[in-house]
Structure 1
Amino acid sequence: MNLQAHTITLTLQEDTLQISIALPHQHWQSIQQAPYLLYHQKKLAFTQATQIHHSYCQVGLAKGILSDYQGFFNTDLHFQTLILISSSSEITFHFLPIKDEGVTEVFWPMPFTFDKASKDWYTLLPLQQGLLLPNTWKKEVCQLPFDGAFCSSSAYMPWLSQIKENMGYLLINDTPWDSAYQIQHPAHGPYTHVSIRWLSSLGKLSYRRSLRMQFYEHCNHNTIAKAYRKDAIARGLLVTLKEKSIQQPSLDELIGACFLHKGIQTHVQPQSRFYDAKKPDRYESLTTFATRRQEMIEWKQLGVNKLYLHLDGWGVEGYDNAHPSILPPCEKAGGWDGLQALCQQMKQLHYVFGLHDQYRDHYHLGKEYDPQNSVQLPDGSIPSHAYWAGGEQDYLCASLASSYVKRNYEALFAHGIYPDAVYLDVFTCNEPDECAHPMHRMTRRECLAYRNACFAWLLSKHILTSSEEVNEWALPYQIFAHYGPYHFMMHSPKEERIGIGIPLFNLVYHDCVLLPWPMDVYLDGEDLMLYALLNGGAPYLEKDGAYPNTDGVFDNEYKSLTKQEKQERSAIVSAFHTLVAKEEMVSHEFLDHDYKCQKTRFANGCEVTIDLRNNSYTLSVPAMDDANLSNI
């Protein structure tokens, strides 16, 4: 079947279900494998339907092909697919479930062939800050965080892109909540196949799933990112820091601040995988609130004028313990009075004070633990594990999270503790949950709304909101994050990288959220400070890891720096951050063929050039009256 509209010719092969898209200067064709779904864990190809009917149709202003599938053995399985060419020259793909009980995953449309051994053929992934994967990349890529779930760290933004010889497509996922993507890239290529799969919601597909495909000529990763930014603006998704600062003026205190990540207590329960029976005190630690107060005074004396303290492990049992029942504050560290005194000290120093908190992990040892409040799967089981310090845990249903947030922070207020910011762990990093418990049934999309409700309540109290990473769904409610790193930064420097880190997220949303960056220097010589400058971010003065060699902290892989060196390096990054924090990142480019020399430009004319071969950088700042220029 052939369909023509505007300059696009769409062909559907009725026997193989291959899709072909022809434009004046480019052609895209899906691989020969037929699309398929998982039905009661059994793989069924669409072509196995005994009743398949294709017809032309018109939907609004769009022309399309509607395909109907039923007659799968002795089942009542019935669904449709709809491919449209819109009036704006987009191609849209819609999966339409009709009778889908028992379907858990749908793989449609299939990947487009992308099979040439050329570095000029590359795939763009919204994996954390962003990844550029040339077809010739030497390392195999097939695994993704959270199995490629959208709305997680696997995809800060819901889109994929492939570019071949300066022509490419942008595939936008309009229904990302119940979906994921997968990738196949063998070592050295010569191909990369990437596609989306649709996930059931509480046992059914339930609703229409939709993609939009746009095409670009003479394009690169900047073109794609800026096209998506325009699309985000058109859908009302872009809320800038300038807009947020009207309601939350205190966010300006974070601009140009050094970020400091410190803890109070670490206590590992015997059930935790980190527990060492031979050395039960191996990971035990305690630092009093009074000690942290003195450290803040010392940083001020060292010349750190703006600082944000992210405080871990301040709750009743310490880090990753007892959530969501975190009160009273750790008694061994000073209790209510000690935390209140630290909070007051931060205000006297004009520093920003933030508390690390958690409303997803539901620990069995918490004094209020009740499995009736945990996420429940459709089969009645409760997912659980004992990975973190607190031992056995389930997941708290997000529909209940905001009630605990309100209860805990109103108790802090009653004791005279008013944090400037709160970090709600994992919300913007981990995949959304769904819950089948009849008293608090929740879809993944509702889960994201409930997480945002926690952010919104804190903002209503003029508490700046943060989470582990960033994600588009949370940006209207998120002021800053723990980080928004390149994928390689979360892994040991000894590991082979799965592609080239690029600032895709910042090209779209740099002026919408504040991101701190690691400042470590690898033992092999690469200086992460260069990426902080390149991305116009804030510096981490120090970032203590809660667990050994996790979450991007690998102490044995970094060069040792003195406090004075940390302060001096951070002052440079902070000064530049002051100039560009609220500015759009206009462009990013590679200035050589091995991706070592890179340049970014911001809307106010500031530019950064880095050279990773010799750890050098150049800052270009237009003439402006700003005292911070003296630090650059």
Structure 2
Amino acid sequence: MIIKAVQHETVRLYYNEETLHIAIESNGNRWQWDEMYQPYFNIGEQTIYFKDAGCIQHFNWKTGVGEGFRTKFSNFVVKGIESPLAFETVVWIEYATQNIYFELIPIEEAHELMGNFYWPGHMAFKEDSSKWYTVINMLQGLMIPNNWPHQVDKLVFDGQMCSSAAYMPWFGQIKEHEGYIAIVCTPWDAGYQVNHPEGSDFCHIGVRWLPSMGKLTYKRSMKLTFLENCDYNDLCKVYRQYAKEQGLLVTLKEKAAKNPLVNKFIGSAIVHTGIKTHVSPDSAYYDQEHPEKNDEVVPFAVRQKQMEKLKEAGLEKVYLHLDGWGEPGYDNQHPDYLPACIEAGGWAGMKALSDKMKALNYMFAIHDQYRDYYFDAATYDRAFALQNPDGSHIEFCRWAGGWQTYICASQAPLYLKRNFTELFRHGIQLEGTYLDVFTCNELDECTHPWHTMTRKECMAYRKSCFDYLVAHDILPSSEEVIDWAVPSIVTAHYGPYAFMLWPNEKPKGIPVPLFNLVYHDCVVLPWLMKEDTPQGDYMLYALLNGGAAYLDAEKEGGALKHEIERYQQVAALQEKIAQCEMIKHEFLDENYRIQKAVYSDGTEITIDLDKGTYTIQ
């Protein structure tokens, strides 16, 4: 057994050339890969371990910025035939920061379509303790103590980075008060997996590298930063600094300097409603027992009267998000969504609503969608659908519009421009637009020769749609919050805790506001306002997180008055701290029901979910 080591200041890196395992000592605290882990990758259904390479060569690695170890793997046998595949791993300490970098570098690609690479390994993280925990960025954030009673393994979008599985591309682990943060520096073709069996005393988490266009293609990189006397707040602040260095941290103050609508939006009541519903008979949402519920139209004039009623009730700030405004109906026939719904009043009715919103000094926003590609769209052309590396296409039928595939994101900016040119031509004055799923669903890749697209290019195409709206003084938003989009978007549908989406499932962990600890002063997040839930009054979460509030404009009389009173409590605080950094979050009891958040202006919010109370200092 040959174990090599390098050291810089307080960090020492060990490499076992026989097992390919890594161990790290930082400030006297030892971290090492789980002894059962073996690095591997997939080609088709075949699993191939790094150790199975016919040729493994080890080298020292030293440059002007750091040192460590390089290993080259080649001469693999795939389905009985030697493959040209060759790649290298480099693990090294950066002198300036004492960070540990893990780099996976292609040397020669295989003839076959590659699968995932599972390297570097997961830490041996075993201790029956709530003080040993893992944090992941699924939705707003989750903390998984080692003694958490429930199983944690299945993640939304299978843990793919740049989706709602990872609002930010990092994870971390804390044992007592020592910890590390693993930042995936090349997140576009990456994912992670968590393994915490029910009743176990460990939690394993590791990164995996997805193929790009069926190949490894380019160098993949992840870095570990080790901390002393830390908790999840400290990990978030390490990533906040990283986000600054990457140009991702653009604050609301900076955005407001370019567009004063940002300040107009802060403190608004978020009214989410619609115009036309049409559910296709082959949709999963089609109501067989009550077919009359599958088609509904609410005139633009009705929504206009609701806005006038809110003004009469004393609301000075309202942001109207309008679904189903196009003739096909909500989630139908995208990207061919025009004209404005004829039965609801057509272009004239929509313009009247738009004009009234301006007269009321309210904000008018619409839902739009440039990923779902419906077979019955007027300009549907299979040649512009996403094509998988094996030449196949995704086809499914779930949403209201029925059978669909996905359109290549390279086409999204073109269709967006086409549709908005028509909206502008009809005098529709918009101050906000929601581009559905762009910051929720995973990034796509496409191999059609007319519009070949990597996942990283998909991200750029989606962002260019947001930037088109910014250029036309429209506040862009999307379904959830992904940090690659933070420089462009101002808001989102929400950035919820996991239990808000899956209230009836066993919780995967303890909700923590990881995203807000990094980006609170960059994005305005609306919060649902449900009152009587097992998890407590959702308004308390809105207050704790200094966010915006939804308001149900369909209610009447005392119910509407109650809605407004609750919104006003949230808005008063939001106006004060929306542009402040969330400095710290903490739990004040063992059951995680009393929580406190501290903001950069000194404001402290404490909530008690059992008593349904809050205090603001």
TM-score (norm 2): 0.96
Match of 1:28 in 2: 31
CA distance in 2, matches of 1:229, 1:523: 33
How far residue 278 of structure 1 moved from its aligned partner, in angstroms, is 4.7
Distance in 2 (alpha carbons) for counterparts of 1:589 and 1:380 = 50
CA distance in 2, matches of 1:363, 1:186: 40
Cα distance in structure 2, aligned partners of 1:306 and 1:483 = 19
The aligned residue for residue 495 of structure 1 is 505
- Say if 2:563 is the partner of 1:566: yes
Counterpart for residue 628 of structure 1? none
Residue from 496, 502, 510 that aligns with 1:485? 496
Amino acid at match of 1:45: Y
Q: Distance in 1 between matches of 2:157 and 2:26?
A: 35
Report deviation, 1:479: 1.0
SS in structure 2 opposite 1:252? helix
The one-letter code sitting in structure 2 at the alignment partner of 1:402 is: P
1:440-455 counterparts in 2 under 5 A?
A: 440-455=451-466
Query: Which letter does structure 1 place at the counterpart of 2:317?
Result: K
* Aligned twin of 1:16: 19
Equivalent position of 2:137 in the other structure: 126
- Tell me the CA shift for residue 303 of structure 1: 2.2
From 37, 44, 63, give the equivalent of 1:40: 44
> Residue by residue, what CA displacement relative to the aligned partner does 1:509-556 show, whole Å, maximum 9, x if unpaired?
111111100111134471000000000000011399xxxxxxxxxxxx
Is structure 2 residue 247 aligned with structure 1 residue 253? no
Among 591, 594, 606, which residue is 1:594 paired with?
591
1:375 pairs, out of 386, 395, 409, with: 386
Report the counterpart of residue 62 of structure 1 in structure 2.
Answer: 66
Report which stretch shifted further, 169-178 or 561-570. Answer: 561-570
Partner SS state of residue 512, structure 1: coil
Residue in structure 2 matched with residue 299 of structure 1 by the alignment: 310
Q: Which blocks of at least 5 consecutive residues in structure 1 are unaligned?
A: 545-559, 621-632
Q: Secondary structure at 1:583's aligned position in 2? A: coil
Within a 5 Å distance, the mapping from 1:193-592 to structure 2 comes to 193-492=204-503, 494-524=504-534, 526-542=536-552, 562-592=559-589
More deviation, 91-100/424-433: 91-100
Letter in structure 2 aligned against 1:31: D
Which letter maps to 2:8? A
Deviates more, 1:211-220 or 1:232-241: 232-241
Given that residues 322 and 365 in structure 1 are in contact (C-alpha distance below 8 angstroms), is that contact kept between their aligned partners in structure 2? Answer: yes
Post-superposition CA distance 1:479-502 (Å, at most 9, x none) = 11110111111113x322111111
Give the superposition deviation at 1:54: 1.2
- Distance in structure 1 (CA, Å) of the matches to 2:510 and 2:194: 16
Does residue 1:90 correspond to 2:117, yes or no? no
**SS state of the match for residue 397, structure 2?**
coil
Choose which of 79, 84, 88 in structure 1 pairs with 2:87. 79
Q: Aligned pairs, how many?
A: 605
Q: Displacement, 1:345?
A: 1.1
Residues 103, 205 of structure 1: 8 Å contact kept: yes
Note the C-alpha offset of 1:16.
1.5
> Is the contact made by 1:31 and 1:112 (CA closer than 8 Å) also made in structure 2?
yes
User: What is the SS of the residue equivalent to 2:448?
Assistant: coil
Between the aligned partners of 1:137 and 1:283, the Cα distance in structure 2 is 42
Q: Retained in 1: the 8 A contact 2:319–2:364?
A: yes
CA distance in 2, matches of 1:576, 1:216: 33
Distance 2:197 2:400 in 1: 37
Q: Take 1:519 and 1:367, find their aligned partners in 2: how far apart are those partners?
A: 39
Mapped partners of 1:576, 1:596: distance in 2: 21
Q: CA 1:159–1:17 in 2, change beyond 3 Å: closer, same or farther? A: same
> 1:53 is matched with which residue: 35, 53, 57?
57
1:12 shift after superposition = 1.5
- With over 3 angstroms needed to count, the CA separation of the structure-2 counterparts of 1:194 and 1:354, relative to structure 1, is same
| Range that drifts further, 528-537 or 370-379 | 370-379
Q: Is 1:135–1:188's contact at 8 Å kept on the other side of the alignment? A: no
Shift in Å, 1:98: 1.5
Structure 1 residue 613 displacement after superposition: 1.2
Distance 1:617 1:431, change over 3 A: same
CA–CA distance in structure 1, aligned partners of residues 389 and 592 of structure 2: 47
- Equivalents in 1 of 2:514, 2:347: separation in Å? 43
Q: Secondary structure at the match of 2:235?
A: helix
Distance 1:523-1:196 versus aligned 2 partners, 3 A rule: closer
Q: Secondary structure at the match of 1:520?
A: coil
Question: Hey, what's the Cα distance between the residues in 2 that align with 1:525 and 1:445?
Answer: 37
User: Aligned equivalents of 2:118 and 2:372: distance in 1?
Assistant: 31
1:79-158 paired onto structure 2 within 5 Å: 79-87=87-95, 88-101=97-110, 102-158=113-169
Residue 189 of structure 1 and its aligned partner are, at CA, apart by: 2.6
Structure 2, unaligned stretches of length 5 or more?
A: none
Identity rate of aligned residues, in percent?
46
C-alpha deviations, 1:579-613, integer Å up to 9, x for none? 00111111111111111111111111111000111
Q: TM-score w.r.t. structure 1 length?
A: 0.94
Change in 2 beyond 3 A, CA 1:511/1:525: closer
Which of 586-595 and 280-289 deviates more? 280-289
SS in 2 for 1:281: helix
Q: Is the 8 A contact 1:125 1:161 kept in 2?
A: yes
| Pairwise CA distance, 1:275 | 1.9
* Structure 2 counterparts to residues 591-630 of structure 1, below 5 A: 591-620=588-617
**Equivalent AA in structure 1 for residue 100 of structure 2:** I
Matched residue type, 2:527: W
Aligned equivalents of 1:143 and 1:594: distance in 2? 24
- 148-157 vs 73-82, which moves further: 73-82
